[in-house]
Amino acid sequence: MHSVHLAVLMTSHDRRARTLSALRALEEQRGLPAGTTFGVHLVDTGSTDGTPEAVRLRHPAVEVMSVGADVPHNQALRIASRNSRSGGGGGGPLGGAPGGPTHTWTHQLWLDDRVELFPDAVANLLRTAAAAGTRTVVVGAVRNAYGDTVHSGRRGRSLALVEPGEHTPEPCDTYDGRVVLVPRAV
């Protein structure tokens, strides 16, 4: 497998503890292909709880951009995506220069700051993407504290929630966007 350079796109607004927890879980990922790097691009939408400052202090490699509270989530994610294209795709295990890079990202990982990844989540997303092909978007399912799937893909006219297969990916027609791996080819 070629080197994987992930541009992680995040947004935040007044969720300092959750954002830091999400970044910590990202930092603790295991089972990744050798040479995998991350470049994290966080767009904060007017937090008043010190989220941007705390991220800069605890995760200096994360590129933090502050915008107004009037910027909606989808626009903030678009800004993070734009920043990843100009900044690159990965600077190491959340180390190095903010935003990472001199090399181009191979995948974008949309990561909601309220999501705390399982330790092997990114490795599983990458394995699924490799098996499915370079033009496949991979959606991670999100479970609540009780183990119920609360966010994942949806399928069909009724947009029924897709329960993830234990060892096989399930197709979906649309998705929520909490954890999404987008290969560069897409």
Q: Which residues of 146-183 are buried (b: 16+ CB within 10 A; e: fewer)?
A: eeeeebbbbbeeeeebbebeeeebeebeebbebbbbbb
Burial of 124 (0-12, 13-18, 19+ CB in 10 A): middle
- Read off the pLDDT of residues 121-132 as tens digits, 9 standing for 90 and up: 999 999 999 998
Structural domain spans, the chain:
5-183
pLDDT at residue 114, as a whole number:
87
> pTM of the prediction?
0.86
* Domain 5-183: CATH architecture, name and number where available: Alpha-Beta Complex (3.90)
The two tokens of residue 165 are: 């297969």
User: In the prediction, which pLDDT does 150 show?
Assistant: 66
d(CA 57, CA 54): 5
